[in-house]
Amino acid sequence: MKLLTGMKAAFGKRSGFMLKIILSLLAVLLISCIGLHIYSRYAVHRALSILSEAALIKVGDNEETVLPLVARYGGTKSYPRSTQADSASYSYEIKLSPFQVFSNGHGAMAYVMVYVPNYLRGFLGLRNWLVLVGVHIQNGRVESVNGDAFVEGGSRWLGSSWHKLSGADGASSAYSIEMSSLNITQNGGSGLDESFTPKATHEQVQISYDFNRSCFTGFIPCSTICDFRPRLFRYLKAHPEIRGNFDTNYCRVPEP
């Protein structure tokens, strides 16, 4: 009888110990998941902030005005392959992605982002995305500025690119937009190409870097380019004079 009682007590202690271990592991897992989601939201905020800053760069500005932005986000200087390193034509490029997925030097989490399917990462709001900014310099002055944002959608990638031009040729429209196809992955995707000059309105410039942030960090992925750029399509429906090959009837965008 005493032996049986002792065995029950020992089993109870072991069960209690195992339960504590399981609860501790679950707590660590929960904290890690929350931490990853918080990091993801911060990384997206930082990446989209650079697009809004880059859109405010003025074509014709002195090169020195863009150097603080390049240094703050870890940008690099590159020359076209057809020119020499001392050429007066070059670009500053900035590339941001979660856990440096699209960079040469990345860690273990980058492999998780690449090899773990989107639907398994989705419950943490972890999606692959890429934000790019390019500032082209000619003879010490800004000649053009480009911004790109790409994100994993439900089945295909979604993307948007804008190009800030000088408009000096007189042929460039103040603001225009075209639908495009993406080749960022094997599955491809759908995207938009926007172009604007200094004659574009302040609202048009703002719209160029206005994205649905839940497409980057939400638990449910965005399915269409309309989900990705809802404010843009509301604007296009209200301004049929805007040039482009888009079809506003393609989107059913709710009012904000």
- Considering the domain boundaries, does residue 256 fall inside one? no
State the pLDDT at residue 63: 94
Side chain identity at 145, as an amino acid letter? V
Considering the chain, what is the average pLDDT of its residues? 81
Which domain range does residue 40 map to? 2-250
Burial (CB < 10 A; 0-12, 13-18, 19+), residue 86, is: exposed
Coil, strand or helix at 144: strand
pTM: 0.81
Query: Which of 56-60, 82-86, 213-217 has the weakest average pLDDT?
Result: 82-86
153 is a domain residue: yes
Q: Which residue has the higher pLDDT, 10 or 90?
A: 90
Provide the pLDDT for residue 3.
47
In a domain? residue 228: yes
| Residue-level pLDDT at 228 | 93
Residue of 183, 163, 161, 185 whose CA lies nearest to 174: 163
For the chain, what's the residue count?
256
Residue 172 lies in a domain: yes
pLDDT higher than 80, residue 29? no
Q: Answer for the pair 235, 207: CB distance below 8 angstroms, yes or no.
A: yes
Domain count, the chain: 1
What tokens appear for 68 in the block? 């603080």
- Mean pLDDT, rounded, for 238-251: 76
**In-domain check, residue 33:** yes
Residue 43 lies in a domain: yes
Between residues 173 and 212, which one has the greater pLDDT? 212
- Is 187 inside a domain boundary? yes
Give 38's pLDDT tier (boundaries 50, 70, 90): confident
Q: Is the pLDDT of residue 67 over 80?
A: yes
User: Across residues 204-222, what is the average pLDDT?
Assistant: 89
The angle subtended at Cα 195 by Cα 194 and Cα 198, nearest 5°, is 135
In a domain, 255, yes or no: no
Encode burial over 197-218: b for 16+ CB neighbours within 10 A, e otherwise. Answer: beebeeebbebbbbbbeebbbe
pLDDT for res 161: 93
How do residues 156-208 score in pLDDT, each as one tens digit?
899 999 999 887 665 568 888 888 888 776 667 888 999 888 888 889 989 98
Q: What is the pLDDT of residue 198?
A: 86
pLDDT recorded at residue 7: 46
